[in-house]
Structure 1
Amino acid sequence: MSTARRSFAQHAVDWALGTFACFVLLVLMAWMDSKKSETAALRRSTAVSTDRTAEHAATRGTR
């Protein structure tokens, strides 16, 4: 890296790239969190469905 003084434009570009990188990281984290929530909801839904099926089979008994 040069020891020369950086211009205002270079500082502005550095700031813009840093801000953009932070924004991308936040969006990625939010997306991953939503995927995690969807997966957990699907697992709960499957568990409820399995419980209902088992309950239905238990109440019908054997015929």
Structure 2
Amino acid sequence: MSCEHLICARCSNPVVEGRCPTCREARSELHDHGPSVPPAVVLAILVALLFAALVLQRVYG
């Protein structure tokens, strides 16, 4: 859901413009998706786990 087509009941302006406190609050709730992990970090963790698995396989295999 996006706020592009929503109209604020308080100021009658598009919510995306954020002209009043109600608009800004609604816009922040719609666009706040929580903390996200960048794909590069996920890739780095996966590479590190793969490397660790290969090292452990060589040591104990």
Rg comparison, structure with higher value = 1
Question: Is TM-score (shorter-chain normalized) higher than 0.5?
Answer: no
**TM-score computed with the length of structure 1 as normaliser:** 0.38
Q: Which has the higher contact order (CA 8 A, sep 6+)?
A: 2
**TM-score computed with the length of structure 2 as normaliser:** 0.38
